[in-house]
């Protein structure tokens, strides 16, 4: 049924800006000698590498895709790392990828240009005794078929490629998957297909529910990044899935969207998951997948920056390699003694804690603590006000927001999942789009923020004053369209509400309803005197994930009333770690 609900449009050829030096179709095998540089700005190869270009692989339905394989010369029986995404396998040397490195402040000299965007670099991994496979997926560039976006079809396709890789003469029969963003998402779907040659996965931040994370977060049709993904990442000769038209035609959860959620119960391979608190596209999905995947051997590391610098960092590469050495080479290297969880705590002052060990997330000693909203004093208190006092704003007037503040007299650490439980009313409208944000303020009330990338020049300031959230962290945010407030009882927990998104429940005049909003998980310390501000608004408080994306404007009119105290005791629930 879900396939019949798909909508397709014609793809376009790969544009010059996304064309790399090795993009042109040219099947064959050659050796890249140690010292080879694809271009002067890239890292030279440390070892001889056999480069098999545009190798044809036939999938189960007869569609042929083309892959590039890099493997160390003179070495047999090596494991393979697979980087599955629609990004052209030759794009590592393109202007677009080099531009992304420049944006975040990374030198192109840390990679060889042979890597797929957001994927493992052959220069590093071949030296360590691994092969790298970069495919052009179904419908991508020269590969046959029509491309799809993040669903179980991709899992089946990648399954077939893994089984091919695992039976090549030079392979040791073990395949791993690695990469960030799209390359992480594809790992959920592939692992759920359980290919026998897949030995381990290393998803490094990625969506795990296309409806809830990409196109309808909080029940709002916010498709700016989906448009960037559809228009700017899927190029080929045939058709591509039109996720924008699908979101417009199917605004509620149906078979199409269910097919774009991995079957987490079938993900049983060893998994090393990397997450952060700061990515407004990836964070919720990565933590959701971590919670739900069935692997007994699973690890989580939560870092304090942006995924690209984190992924290519030498220390993190060594960490990643220890994981793959254990499960793809069967090395007895003590990986199992790695803490199951390593988390970060931001302080926004240059004193972040990283790699804090724990057995779970949230870690032991965390208590979900309610801070009640007081509409009269505009404060947050641990006891509910006895008398009700509403706080309201007109959505068409500045300020179209209300906020509440608490000050901490002693050092307070929060690690885990915040949520908001609010009693709300719409006056002059039958629905509300609500945006919420947890901010850290210094002792003088100044909002504190933190860049997540090495680049902190004037242009990045301009880009991130509003929006470009992936580059600058302003706090934990959440959102909900009130008519989509119905909770999924099977998926919701005390700490993490999950909405069903299968119905529309409009508001009637004078109706006061209680809603729960999930905010992104946090690791945040407040020093004595510092303050927390909780903001509720009709507008997007943090903006888009990347610059240049169309921003969603809340579908609001009239007045929003936030009820507090008395019988409508709204609260913000925070994960407070015992001192």
Class of the domain covering 2-338: alpha beta
Report phi then psi at 131, rounded to 5: -95, 155
DSSP string, 336-353: GGS-SEEEEEB-SSS--E
The three-state secondary structure class of 511 is coil
Closest CA to 419 of 447, 438, 446: 438
Distance CA 312, CA 294 (A): 28
Report phi then psi at 189, rounded to 5: -65, -40
CATH architecture classification, 366-577: Sandwich (2.60)
Closest CA to 425 of 508, 493, 364: 508
Question: For residue 428, what are its two tokens?
Answer: 């002059």
Number of alpha carbons in the 13 Å side-chain half-sphere of residue 88: 29
Question: For residue 378, what are its two tokens?
Answer: 């505009």
> 255-296 pLDDT, tens per residue?
999 999 999 999 999 999 999 999 999 999 999 999 999 999
Helices of type H across 306-457: 307-312, 314-328
Using CA atoms, how far residue 554 sits from 72, 177, 277, 537, in Å, is: 53, 38, 24, 10
The three-state secondary structure class of 36 is coil
Distance CA 402, CA 537 (A): 7
Q: What are the b/e assignments for 267-305, b being 16+ CB within 10 Å?
A: bebbbbbbbbbbbbbbbbbbbbbbebbebebbbbbbbbb
Asked whether the beta carbons of 273 and 313 are under 8 A apart, the reply is: no
Residues 6+ apart with CB under 8 A from 247: 215, 216, 221, 223, 226
Residues 6+ apart with CB under 8 A from 448: 348, 349, 439, 440, 441, 442
For residue 399, cis peptide bond before it (omega within 30 degrees of 0): yes
> Which long-range contacts does 456-462 make (Cβ < 8 Å, 24+ apart)?
456/105, 460/103
Distance CA 375, CA 387 (A): 10
CA angle, 234 then 132 then 68, to 5°: 55
Does pTM surpass 0.85? yes
Partners of 531 in the β-ladder: 407, 441
Asked whether the beta carbons of 372 and 568 are under 8 A apart, the reply is: no
Asked whether the beta carbons of 486 and 505 are under 8 A apart, the reply is: yes
Closest CA to 19 of 144, 142, 109: 142
Residue boundaries of the structural domains of the chain: 2-338, 366-577
CA angle, 9 then 10 then 11, to 5°: 115
Question: For residue 14, what are its two tokens?
Answer: 């790969």
pLDDT in tens, the chain (579 residues): 678 899 999 999 999 999 999 999 999 999 999 999 999 999 999 999 999 999 999 999 999 999 999 999 999 899 999 999 999 999 999 999 999 999 999 999 999 999 999 999 999 999 999 999 999 999 999 999 999 999 999 999 999 999 999 999 999 999 999 999 999 999 999 999 999 999 999 999 999 999 999 999 999 999 999 999 999 999 999 999 999 999 999 999 999 999 999 999 999 999 999 999 999 999 999 999 999 999 999 999 999 999 999 999 999 999 999 999 999 999 999 999 999 999 999 999 999 999 999 999 999 999 999 999 999 999 999 999 999 999 999 999 999 999 999 999 999 999 999 999 999 999 999 999 999 999 999 999 999 999 999 999 999 999 999 999 999 999 999 999 999 999 999 999 999 999 999 999 999 999 999 999 999 999 999 999 999 999 999 999 999 999 889 999 999 999 999 999 999 999 999 999 998
SS (H, E, C) 37-97: CCCCCCCCCCCCEEEEEEEEEECCCCCEEEEEEEEECCCCCEEEEECCCCCCCCHHHCHHH
């Amino acid at each position: 049924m879900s396939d019949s609900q798909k909508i397709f449009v014609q793809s376009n050829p790969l544009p010059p800006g996304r064309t790399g030096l090795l993009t042109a179709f040219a099947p064959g095998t050659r050796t890249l000698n140690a010292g080879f540089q694809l271009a002067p700005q890239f890292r030279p190869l440390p070892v001889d590498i056999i480069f098999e270009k545009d190798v044809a692989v036939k999938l189960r339905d007869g569609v042929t895709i083309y892959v590039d394989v890099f493997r160390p010369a003179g070495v047999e029986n090596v494991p393979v790392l697979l980087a599955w995404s629609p990004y052209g396998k030759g794009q590592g040397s393109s202007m677009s990828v080099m531009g992304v490195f420049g944006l975040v402040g990374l030198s192109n000299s840390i990679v060889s240009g042979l890597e797929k965007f957001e994927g493992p670099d052959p220069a590093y991994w071949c030296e360590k005794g691994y092969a790298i496979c970069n495919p052009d997926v179904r419908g991508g560039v020269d590969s046959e078929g029509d491309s799809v976006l993040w669903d179980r079809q991709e899992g089946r396709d990648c399954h077939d490629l893994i089984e091919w890789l695992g039976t090549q003469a030079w392979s040791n029969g073990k395949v791993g998957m690695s990469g960030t963003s799209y390359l992480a998402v594809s790992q959920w779907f592939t692992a759920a297909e359980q290919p026998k040659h897949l030995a381990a996965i290393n998803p490094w931040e990625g969506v795990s529910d296309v409806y809830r994370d990409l196109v309808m977060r909080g029940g709002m049709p916010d498709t700016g990044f989906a448009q960037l993904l559809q228009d700017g990442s899927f190029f080929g000769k045939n058709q591509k899935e039109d996720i924008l038209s699908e979101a417009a035609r199917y605004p509620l959860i149906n078979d199409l969207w269910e097919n774009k959620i991995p079957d987490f119960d079938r993900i049983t391979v060893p998994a090393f998951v990397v997450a952060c608190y700061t990515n407004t596209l990836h964070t919720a999905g990565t933590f959701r997948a971590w919670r739900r995947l069935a692997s007994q051997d699973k690890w989580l590391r939560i870092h304090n920056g942006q995924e690209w610098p984190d992924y290519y960092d030498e220390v993190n590469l060594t960490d990643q390699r220890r994981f793959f050495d254990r499960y793809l080479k069967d090395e007895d290297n003590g990986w199992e003694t790695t803490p199951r969880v390593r988390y970060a705590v931001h302080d926004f002052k240059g004193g972040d804690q990283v790699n804090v060990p724990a057995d779970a997330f949230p870690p032991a000693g965390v208590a979900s603590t309610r801070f009640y909203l007081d509409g009269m004093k505009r404060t947050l208190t641990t006891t509910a006000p006895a008398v009700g006092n509403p706080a309201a704003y007109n959505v068409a007037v500045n300020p179209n927001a209300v906020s509440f503040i608490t000050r901490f007299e002693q050092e307070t650490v929060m690690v885990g999942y915040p949520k908001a439980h609010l009693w709300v009313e719409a006056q002059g409208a039958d629905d509300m789009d609500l945006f919420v944000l947890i901010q850290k303020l210094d002792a003088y009330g100044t909002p504190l923020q933190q860049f997540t990338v090495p680049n902190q020049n004037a242009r990045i300031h301009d880009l991130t004053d509003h929006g470009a959230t992936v580059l600058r962290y302003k706090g934990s945010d959440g959102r909900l369209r009130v008519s989509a407030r119905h909770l999924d009882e099977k998926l919701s927990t005390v700490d993490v509400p999950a909405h069903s998104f299968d119905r529309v429940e409009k508001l009637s005049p004078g109706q006061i309803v209680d809603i729960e909003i999930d905010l992104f998980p946090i690791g945040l310390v407040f020093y004595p005197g510092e303050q927390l501000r909780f903001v509720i608004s009709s507008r997007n408080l943090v903006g888009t994930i990347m610059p240049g994306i169309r921003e969603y404007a809340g579908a609001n009119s009239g007045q929003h009333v936030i009820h507090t105290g008395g019988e409508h005791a709204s609260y913000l629930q925070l994960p407070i770690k015992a001192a």
